[in-house]
Amino acid sequence: MPASIDSGPEDIQEIEQQIPNKHRKTLRREFYNLAIKFIFVSVGAWVSIHLFELFVAPSVGVTHTHIQILSVIAIVIISFAVITAIRRLLKEFASKTHPQFSASLSFFIIIFISLVASLAVLHQLNVNPQEILISGGVAAIILGIGVSTIVGNILSGGLILTTYPAKIGDSIHVVGDNIRGKIDEINMFYTKIQTDEGKEYIIPNNAIIQGNVRILKDIPIAAQLPYSEGDVIEMAGPLEKYVGTVIRITSKFTTILNDERTKEYILANSMVLQGNFTIVRHRAKS
Protein backbone atom coordinates (compact mmCIF):
# COMPACT_ATOMS: atom_id res chain seq x y z
CA MET A 1 0.00 0.00 0.00
CA PRO A 2 1.61 3.31 -1.03
CA ALA A 3 2.50 5.68 1.75
CA SER A 4 0.48 8.86 1.89
CA ILE A 5 2.25 12.22 2.00
CA ASP A 6 0.56 14.97 3.93
CA SER A 7 1.43 18.53 3.00
CA GLY A 8 0.72 20.97 5.76
CA PRO A 9 0.28 24.73 5.39
CA GLU A 10 3.98 25.31 6.09
CA ASP A 11 5.01 22.95 3.29
CA ILE A 12 2.64 24.64 0.85
CA GLN A 13 3.91 28.08 1.87
CA GLU A 14 7.50 26.96 1.34
CA ILE A 15 6.65 25.61 -2.12
CA GLU A 16 4.90 28.86 -3.08
CA GLN A 17 7.92 30.87 -1.94
CA GLN A 18 10.20 28.77 -4.14
CA ILE A 19 8.15 29.32 -7.33
CA PRO A 20 9.46 32.85 -8.18
CA ASN A 21 13.08 31.71 -7.77
CA LYS A 22 12.38 28.74 -10.01
CA HIS A 23 10.97 31.05 -12.69
CA ARG A 24 14.01 33.32 -12.51
CA LYS A 25 16.35 30.35 -12.84
CA THR A 26 14.32 29.10 -15.79
CA LEU A 27 14.67 32.45 -17.56
CA ARG A 28 18.43 32.47 -16.97
CA ARG A 29 18.65 28.87 -18.13
CA GLU A 30 16.73 29.65 -21.31
CA PHE A 31 19.09 32.53 -22.10
CA TYR A 32 22.07 30.28 -21.39
CA ASN A 33 20.69 27.56 -23.68
CA LEU A 34 20.00 30.13 -26.38
CA ALA A 35 23.56 31.45 -26.15
CA ILE A 36 24.98 27.90 -26.45
CA LYS A 37 22.79 27.21 -29.50
CA PHE A 38 23.85 30.50 -31.07
CA ILE A 39 27.54 29.66 -30.61
CA PHE A 40 27.14 26.15 -32.03
CA VAL A 41 25.11 27.35 -35.03
CA SER A 42 27.54 30.21 -35.77
CA VAL A 43 30.63 28.00 -35.50
CA GLY A 44 28.93 25.23 -37.49
CA ALA A 45 27.93 27.63 -40.26
CA TRP A 46 31.43 29.15 -40.43
CA VAL A 47 33.14 25.73 -40.53
CA SER A 48 30.69 24.42 -43.16
CA ILE A 49 31.21 27.43 -45.43
CA HIS A 50 35.00 27.26 -44.97
CA LEU A 51 35.14 23.54 -45.79
CA PHE A 52 32.84 24.07 -48.77
CA GLU A 53 35.16 26.78 -50.09
CA LEU A 54 38.26 24.57 -49.65
CA PHE A 55 37.05 21.24 -51.02
CA VAL A 56 33.84 21.70 -53.02
CA ALA A 57 33.87 25.20 -54.50
CA PRO A 58 36.83 24.70 -56.90
CA SER A 59 35.22 21.65 -58.49
CA VAL A 60 31.81 23.26 -59.06
CA GLY A 61 33.05 26.66 -60.20
CA VAL A 62 31.99 28.66 -57.15
CA THR A 63 34.16 31.75 -56.72
CA HIS A 64 35.22 33.55 -53.55
CA THR A 65 32.68 36.27 -54.28
CA HIS A 66 29.88 33.70 -54.15
CA ILE A 67 31.23 32.46 -50.81
CA GLN A 68 31.22 36.02 -49.46
CA ILE A 69 27.60 36.50 -50.51
CA LEU A 70 26.67 33.16 -48.92
CA SER A 71 28.43 34.19 -45.69
CA VAL A 72 26.60 37.51 -45.57
CA ILE A 73 23.24 35.77 -46.07
CA ALA A 74 24.10 33.29 -43.29
CA ILE A 75 25.01 36.14 -40.91
CA VAL A 76 21.75 37.97 -41.60
CA ILE A 77 19.62 34.82 -41.18
CA ILE A 78 21.33 33.77 -37.92
CA SER A 79 21.07 37.30 -36.48
CA PHE A 80 17.38 37.57 -37.37
CA ALA A 81 16.69 34.12 -35.90
CA VAL A 82 18.45 34.98 -32.62
CA ILE A 83 16.62 38.31 -32.27
CA THR A 84 13.29 36.59 -32.95
CA ALA A 85 14.07 33.85 -30.40
CA ILE A 86 15.03 36.40 -27.74
CA ARG A 87 11.86 38.44 -28.26
CA ARG A 88 9.74 35.29 -28.12
CA LEU A 89 11.52 34.23 -24.93
CA LEU A 90 10.97 37.60 -23.25
CA LYS A 91 7.31 37.54 -24.31
CA GLU A 92 6.95 34.07 -22.79
CA PHE A 93 8.27 35.31 -19.44
CA ALA A 94 6.52 38.70 -19.65
CA SER A 95 4.24 37.90 -16.69
CA LYS A 96 7.26 37.07 -14.50
CA THR A 97 9.40 40.12 -15.27
CA HIS A 98 8.77 43.87 -15.17
CA PRO A 99 7.75 45.20 -18.62
CA GLN A 100 10.38 47.95 -18.42
CA PHE A 101 13.14 45.38 -17.77
CA SER A 102 11.96 43.17 -20.66
CA ALA A 103 11.77 46.12 -23.06
CA SER A 104 15.21 47.42 -22.04
CA LEU A 105 16.81 43.98 -22.32
CA SER A 106 15.24 43.36 -25.72
CA PHE A 107 16.27 46.82 -26.97
CA PHE A 108 19.95 46.56 -26.05
CA ILE A 109 20.28 42.92 -27.15
CA ILE A 110 18.91 43.85 -30.59
CA ILE A 111 21.34 46.78 -30.81
CA PHE A 112 24.27 44.56 -29.77
CA ILE A 113 23.43 41.73 -32.18
CA SER A 114 22.85 44.20 -35.04
CA LEU A 115 26.23 45.85 -34.37
CA VAL A 116 28.06 42.51 -34.23
CA ALA A 117 26.32 41.34 -37.40
CA SER A 118 27.25 44.57 -39.21
CA LEU A 119 30.92 44.19 -38.24
CA ALA A 120 30.85 40.54 -39.33
CA VAL A 121 29.38 41.50 -42.72
CA LEU A 122 32.06 44.17 -43.21
CA HIS A 123 34.73 41.62 -42.29
CA GLN A 124 33.36 39.12 -44.81
CA LEU A 125 33.43 41.81 -47.52
CA ASN A 126 37.00 42.78 -46.52
CA VAL A 127 35.90 46.31 -45.70
CA ASN A 128 37.59 48.25 -42.91
CA PRO A 129 35.08 50.39 -40.94
CA GLN A 130 37.77 53.10 -40.54
CA GLU A 131 38.07 53.44 -44.29
CA ILE A 132 34.33 54.09 -44.55
CA LEU A 133 34.49 56.82 -41.92
CA ILE A 134 37.60 58.46 -43.39
CA SER A 135 36.96 58.16 -47.12
CA GLY A 136 33.17 58.19 -47.17
CA GLY A 137 33.05 61.94 -47.57
CA VAL A 138 29.90 63.31 -49.17
CA ALA A 139 28.26 59.87 -49.42
CA ALA A 140 28.57 59.43 -45.66
CA ILE A 141 27.01 62.87 -45.07
CA ILE A 142 24.10 62.16 -47.43
CA LEU A 143 23.53 58.76 -45.83
CA GLY A 144 23.72 60.33 -42.39
CA ILE A 145 21.04 62.87 -43.26
CA GLY A 146 18.84 60.11 -44.66
CA VAL A 147 18.98 57.92 -41.58
CA SER A 148 19.25 60.66 -38.94
CA THR A 149 15.56 60.38 -38.02
CA ILE A 150 15.77 56.59 -37.66
CA VAL A 151 18.98 56.71 -35.63
CA GLY A 152 17.57 59.57 -33.54
CA ASN A 153 14.51 57.51 -32.66
CA ILE A 154 16.66 54.49 -31.75
CA LEU A 155 18.96 56.53 -29.49
CA SER A 156 15.97 58.31 -27.97
CA GLY A 157 14.33 54.93 -27.29
CA GLY A 158 17.42 53.85 -25.36
CA LEU A 159 17.36 57.06 -23.31
CA ILE A 160 13.65 56.70 -22.53
CA LEU A 161 14.14 53.09 -21.39
CA THR A 162 17.10 53.88 -19.16
CA THR A 163 16.81 57.46 -17.90
CA TYR A 164 13.30 58.81 -18.54
CA PRO A 165 11.21 59.13 -15.34
CA ALA A 166 8.07 57.63 -16.93
CA LYS A 167 8.21 53.84 -17.34
CA ILE A 168 6.03 51.21 -18.96
CA GLY A 169 2.80 50.90 -16.98
CA ASP A 170 2.93 54.46 -15.58
CA SER A 171 -0.09 56.76 -15.85
CA ILE A 172 0.83 59.86 -17.86
CA HIS A 173 -0.63 63.03 -19.32
CA VAL A 174 0.42 64.33 -22.77
CA VAL A 175 0.13 68.06 -22.20
CA GLY A 176 -0.18 69.46 -25.74
CA ASP A 177 -2.85 67.03 -26.93
CA ASN A 178 -4.52 66.61 -23.51
CA ILE A 179 -4.18 62.82 -23.66
CA ARG A 180 -4.32 60.71 -20.51
CA GLY A 181 -3.47 57.03 -20.32
CA LYS A 182 -0.77 54.48 -19.55
CA ILE A 183 2.51 53.79 -21.30
CA ASP A 184 1.92 50.44 -22.97
CA GLU A 185 5.11 49.93 -24.99
CA ILE A 186 8.51 51.51 -25.65
CA ASN A 187 10.37 50.11 -28.63
CA MET A 188 13.22 51.24 -30.88
CA PHE A 189 11.20 53.84 -32.78
CA TYR A 190 8.14 54.96 -30.85
CA THR A 191 6.32 55.00 -27.52
CA LYS A 192 2.78 53.65 -27.47
CA ILE A 193 0.23 55.00 -24.99
CA GLN A 194 -3.07 53.27 -24.18
CA THR A 195 -5.47 56.14 -23.56
CA ASP A 196 -8.28 56.15 -21.01
CA GLU A 197 -10.72 56.02 -23.94
CA GLY A 198 -9.23 52.71 -25.10
CA LYS A 199 -7.31 54.13 -28.07
CA GLU A 200 -3.62 53.83 -28.98
CA TYR A 201 -1.58 57.04 -29.10
CA ILE A 202 1.80 56.74 -30.88
CA ILE A 203 4.66 59.20 -30.23
CA PRO A 204 8.10 59.11 -31.96
CA ASN A 205 10.83 58.68 -29.36
CA ASN A 206 12.89 61.66 -30.51
CA ALA A 207 9.84 63.95 -30.12
CA ILE A 208 9.77 63.07 -26.40
CA ILE A 209 13.52 63.50 -25.84
CA GLN A 210 13.65 66.77 -27.81
CA GLY A 211 10.74 68.16 -25.77
CA ASN A 212 8.35 68.57 -28.71
CA VAL A 213 5.90 66.37 -26.81
CA ARG A 214 5.63 67.07 -23.09
CA ILE A 215 4.64 64.20 -20.84
CA LEU A 216 3.61 64.56 -17.21
CA LYS A 217 3.63 61.55 -14.91
CA ASP A 218 0.23 61.23 -13.25
CA ILE A 219 -0.65 59.65 -9.95
CA PRO A 220 -2.87 56.62 -10.77
CA ILE A 221 -6.56 57.09 -10.01
CA ALA A 222 -6.49 54.09 -7.67
CA ALA A 223 -3.84 55.84 -5.55
CA GLN A 224 -5.88 59.07 -5.36
CA LEU A 225 -9.10 57.48 -4.13
CA PRO A 226 -9.59 57.10 -0.35
CA TYR A 227 -10.30 53.35 -0.66
CA SER A 228 -8.97 50.27 -2.43
CA GLU A 229 -10.45 47.18 -4.04
CA GLY A 230 -11.76 44.85 -1.34
CA ASP A 231 -12.58 47.63 1.15
CA VAL A 232 -16.02 47.77 2.76
CA ILE A 233 -17.23 51.37 2.58
CA GLU A 234 -20.20 53.64 3.14
CA MET A 235 -20.60 56.50 0.67
CA ALA A 236 -23.16 59.13 1.60
CA GLY A 237 -24.11 61.53 -1.17
CA PRO A 238 -26.60 64.38 -1.39
CA LEU A 239 -29.44 62.06 -2.45
CA GLU A 240 -28.45 58.48 -1.69
CA LYS A 241 -26.21 56.31 0.44
CA TYR A 242 -24.19 53.37 -0.91
CA VAL A 243 -22.93 50.57 1.31
CA GLY A 244 -20.94 47.58 0.14
CA THR A 245 -17.60 46.19 -0.99
CA VAL A 246 -15.41 47.84 -3.63
CA ILE A 247 -14.97 45.13 -6.26
CA ARG A 248 -13.52 47.12 -9.17
CA ILE A 249 -11.67 50.40 -9.75
CA THR A 250 -11.01 51.60 -13.29
CA SER A 251 -9.64 54.89 -14.57
CA LYS A 252 -13.14 56.38 -14.59
CA PHE A 253 -15.46 54.36 -12.35
CA THR A 254 -15.71 52.57 -9.02
CA THR A 255 -17.99 49.54 -8.71
CA ILE A 256 -19.51 48.69 -5.31
CA LEU A 257 -21.30 45.41 -4.58
CA ASN A 258 -23.90 45.62 -1.80
CA ASP A 259 -23.83 43.22 1.17
CA GLU A 260 -26.68 41.13 -0.21
CA ARG A 261 -24.75 40.74 -3.49
CA THR A 262 -27.83 41.72 -5.43
CA LYS A 263 -26.83 45.16 -6.72
CA GLU A 264 -23.77 46.82 -8.17
CA TYR A 265 -23.36 50.58 -7.79
CA ILE A 266 -21.14 52.24 -10.41
CA LEU A 267 -19.93 55.68 -9.35
CA ALA A 268 -17.79 58.18 -11.25
CA ASN A 269 -14.33 58.63 -9.71
CA SER A 270 -14.43 62.31 -10.61
CA MET A 271 -17.44 62.76 -8.30
CA VAL A 272 -15.55 61.08 -5.46
CA LEU A 273 -12.41 63.19 -5.99
CA GLN A 274 -14.50 66.37 -6.09
CA GLY A 275 -15.72 65.61 -2.56
CA ASN A 276 -19.36 64.94 -3.40
CA PHE A 277 -19.46 61.95 -1.04
CA THR A 278 -18.76 61.43 2.64
CA ILE A 279 -16.88 58.15 2.85
CA VAL A 280 -16.58 55.78 5.80
CA ARG A 281 -14.15 52.92 5.25
CA HIS A 282 -14.36 49.69 7.26
CA ARG A 283 -11.77 46.97 7.55
CA ALA A 284 -11.37 44.98 4.33
CA LYS A 285 -13.07 41.60 4.22
CA SER A 286 -10.74 38.65 3.94
Q: Is the pLDDT of residue 193 over 80?
A: yes
Rounded to an integer, the average pLDDT of 4-30 is 52
Task: Identify whether residues 66 and 112 lie together within a single domain.
Answer: yes
pLDDT score for 126? 80
pLDDT given at position 10: 47
Domain end call among 97, 127, 157: 127
Q: What percent of the chain has pLDDT over 90?
A: 12
Q: Do 240 and 258 share a structural domain?
A: yes
**What is the model's pLDDT at position 259?**
86
Q: What is the pLDDT of residue 132?
A: 57
112 with 177, same domain: the answer is no
CATH number at 276 reads: 2.30.30.520
- The residue among 127, 162, 188 that closes a domain is 127
Q: Does 88 share its domain with 123?
A: yes
More confident residue, 27 or 139: 27
- What pLDDT shows up at residue 11? 47
Asked if residue 85 belongs to a domain, the reply is yes
Q: Please check whether residues 187 and 273 belong to one and the same domain.
A: no
For residue 263, tell me if it sits in a domain. Answer: yes
Please check the confidence at residue 191 and state whether its pLDDT lies above 80: yes
Same domain, 49 and 92: yes
Is 92 a domain residue?
yes
Residue 230: inside a domain: yes
pLDDT at 155 over 80: yes
Kindly state the average pLDDT of the residues 5-31: 54
Q: Using the predicted structure, report yes or no on whether residue 52 has a pLDDT greater than 70.
A: yes
Would you say residue 159 lies in a domain?
no
For residue 203, what pLDDT is reported? 92
Mean pLDDT of the chain: 80
Q: Which residue range forms the structural domain that includes residue 48? A: 18-127
- The confidence score (pLDDT) of residue 122 equals 84
Note whether 25 and 121 are same-domain residues. yes
Asked whether residue 133 carries a pLDDT value surpassing 60, the answer given is no
Is residue 138 in some structural domain? Answer: no
Q: How many domains does the chain have?
A: 3
272 plus 252 within the same structural domain: yes
Shared domain check, 231 and 214: no
pLDDT at 280 > cutoff 80: yes
Residue 228 above 70 pLDDT? yes
For every residue of the chain, DSSP letters joined together read -PPP----HHHHHHHHHHHHHHHHHHHHHHHHHHHHHHHHHHHHHHHHHHHIIIIIHHHHT--HHHHHHHHHHHHHHHHHHHHHHHHHHHHHTGGGS-HHHHHHHHHHHHHHHHHHHHHHHHHHTT--HHHHHHH-HHHHHHHHHHHHHHHHHHHHHHHHHHT-S--TT-EEEETTTTEEEEEEEE-SSEEEEEETTS-EEEEEHHHHHTTSS-EEEPPPHHHHSS--TT-EEEEE-SS-EEEEEEEEE-SSEEEEE-TTSS-EEEEEHHHHHTT-SEEEEEPPP-
CATH number for position 184:
2.30.30
Question: Where residue 136 falls among pLDDT bands split at 50, 70, 90?
Answer: low
Identify whether 160 is part of a domain: no
Whether 252 and 278 map to the same domain: the answer is yes
**Last residue of some domain: 108, 127, 146?**
127
> 198 with 268, same domain?
no
| 228 in any annotated domain | yes
* Residue of higher predicted confidence among 274 and 132: 274
pLDDT at 131: 62
Same domain, 196 and 121: no
What is residue 8's predicted lDDT score, i.e. its pLDDT? Answer: 46
Average pLDDT over residues 82-109: 84
Checking if the pLDDT of 77 tops 90, the result is yes
